[in-house]
């Protein structure tokens, strides 16, 4: 769940609770005030009724002023539109407590043909306090909304930072965060931008260095191989020739691996059969003795991938199998949508991931040849295609499987 969703849910819950509490508080306050007024009206009604029964209007008016009561125009409309809260009636008299539409209480008193309608002026202060309380609740709601908007404004840069970090991680090294504030989040944005610039510069420098080294090595290696052809045959010439060929292959692999590590390098995807893949991979090895490899294709399925890169991966697997096998031939087996390269030899001592690191060697590194860029190249090519490289040890044979489904 995103931060925005969490904040939105908390805001909705807080807003709903605020509205509920405000409504409940207003209702309870009004009920309490009305209950007190009702009790007050009932208490003073007996005393006021004596003056009304004696028709002593002067004393009655003075009592109104002492109790902060005021006469209201006695109209049938007022009585008819008001709700009766309390009603007591005899043959000669009647007392009613009425509730108006604005929740104010009135006291109606009748004796024979004389009647009066009164209102307690002190309740105005109570209604003013209720109104003030409602304003405070409204202000709290507005503050809550403003706080929510401020949090959203703070979250937006975080979303932008996350988006740019993801883009940077996917290979867009030019991704930067736009700084639009001067707070802690702006500090994070500036830190990310500085880090991204440093990493971009380091990656660019590394790429240039590897390209320059690769291209610079190609010329002397080519000249050395050409010069070597003019030398007389000897065991030293053969050793030197193998070393130069390995250096040339390693240089090519280094340049190709650098291209693969760049996520912006586009793959030339096309459809081809597994038989085409195997023949292309074998053509890159220049194997003169075909008996060194046995091929069995149970299903000549189609693959959608970059033929050049995928054949390079298979070529490296075959090349490694030929180098490290203890008994020849090696085997290429196609089952379902798996391409297996099998060779006799001791089981790998460490997990496959260890040998997929660049220039990985075994524990006895002085006595064993390194795996160089071979498996690292294979693994990277398959990763770029969304395929997998697997390793198993079956019946004394190392089995490397390219899963291309």
Among 2-16, 95-109, 171-185, 201-215, the least confident range: 201-215
pLDDT tens, residue by residue, 359-374: 554 444 334 444 456 7
In this structure, are residues 121 and 128 in contact, taking their beta carbons and an 8 Å threshold? no
Residue 391's SS3 state is: strand
In this structure, are residues 350 and 344 in contact, taking their beta carbons and an 8 Å threshold? no
Average pLDDT over residues 387-399: 93
Res 374: pLDDT = 72
Could you give the domains of the chain?
A: 3-126 (no CATH), 198-258 (1.10.287.130), 266-403 (3.30.565.10)
Q: Which residue has the tokens 């498996």?
A: 375
For residue 329, give the DSSP letter: P
Average pLDDT over residues 97-101: 79
d(CA 252, CA 260) in angstroms, rounded, equals 12
d(CA 93, CA 208) in angstroms, rounded, equals 108
Average pLDDT over residues 187-191: 84
Q: Which residue has the tokens 């989040």?
A: 185
Cα distances from 293 to residues 113, 303, 337, in angstroms, run 127, 22, 20
186-190, Cβ contacts within 8 angstroms, sequence gap of 24 or more: 186/157, 188/161, 189/157, 189/161
From the list 378, 334, 326, 387, the residue with the least C-alpha distance to 353 is 378
For residue 81, give the DSSP letter: H
Average pLDDT over residues 86-99: 81
Radius of gyration of the chain (CA): 46
Average pLDDT over residues 182-190: 80
d(CA 305, CA 18) in angstroms, rounded, equals 60
Res 385: pLDDT = 87
Average pLDDT over residues 149-175: 78
Pairing of strands 93-99, 397-403: unpaired
Query: Cis ω on the peptide bond leading into residue 329 (within 30° of 0)?
Result: yes
The torsion angle over the Cα atoms of residues 272, 274, 277 and 281, rounded to 10 degrees, is 180
pTM value?
Answer: 0.48
Which two three-digit tokens encode residue 402?
Answer: 């390219």
Residue 268: CB atoms within 10 A of its CB come to 9
What residues contact 45, with CB distance under 8 A and at least 6 apart? Answer: 95, 107, 109
């Amino acid at each position: 769940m995103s931060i925005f969703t969490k904040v939105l849910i908390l805001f909705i819950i807080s807003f709903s609770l605020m509205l509920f509490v405000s409504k409940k508080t207003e209702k309870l306050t009004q009920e309490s005030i009305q209950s007190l007024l009702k009790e007050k009206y009932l208490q003073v009604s007996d005393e006021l009724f004596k003056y009304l029964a004696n028709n002593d209007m002067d004393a009655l008016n003075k009592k109104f002023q002492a109790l902060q009561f005021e006469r209201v125009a006695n109209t049938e409309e007022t009585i008819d539109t008001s709700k009766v809260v309390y009603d007591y009636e005899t043959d000669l008299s009647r007392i009613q407590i009425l509730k108006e539409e604005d929740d104010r209480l009135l006291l109606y008193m009748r004796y024979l043909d004389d009647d009066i309608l009164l209102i307690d002026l002190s309740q105005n202060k109570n209604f003013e306090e209720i109104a003030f309380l409602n304003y405070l609740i409204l202000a709290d709601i507005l503050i809550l909304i403003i706080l929510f908007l401020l949090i959203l404004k703070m979250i937006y840069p975080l979303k932008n930072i996350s988006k740019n970090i993801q883009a940077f991680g996917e290979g867009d090294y030019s991704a930067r965060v736009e700084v639009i504030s001067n707070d802690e989040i702006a500090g994070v944005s500036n830190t990310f931008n500085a880090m991204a610039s440093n990493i971009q510069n380091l990656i660019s420098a590394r790429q240039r260095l590897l390209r320059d080294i690769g291209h610079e090595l190609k010329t002397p290696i080519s000249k050395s191989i050409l010069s070597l052809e003019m030398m007389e045959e000897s065991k030293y010439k053969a050793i030197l020739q193998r070393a130069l060929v390995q250096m040339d292959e390693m240089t090519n692999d280094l340049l190709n691996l650098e291209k693969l590590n760049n996520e912006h390098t586009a793959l030339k995807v096309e459809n081809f059969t597994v038989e085409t893949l195997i023949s292309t991979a074998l053509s890159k090895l220049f194997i003169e003795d075909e008996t060194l490899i046995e091929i069995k294709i149970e299903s000549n399925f189609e693959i959608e991938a970059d033929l050049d890169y995928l054949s390079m991966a298979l070529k490296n697997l075959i090349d490694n199998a030929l180098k490290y096998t203890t008994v020849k031939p090696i085997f290429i087996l196609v089952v379902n949508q798996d391409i297996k390269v099998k060779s006799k030899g001791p089981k790998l001592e460490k997990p496959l991931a260890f040998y997929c690191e660049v220039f990985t060697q075994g524990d006895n590194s002085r006595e064993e040849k390194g795996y160089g860029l071979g498996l690292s190249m294979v693994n990277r090519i398959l990763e770029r295609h969304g395929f997998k490289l697997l390793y198993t040890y079956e019946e004394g044979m190392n089995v490397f499987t390219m899963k291309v489904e």
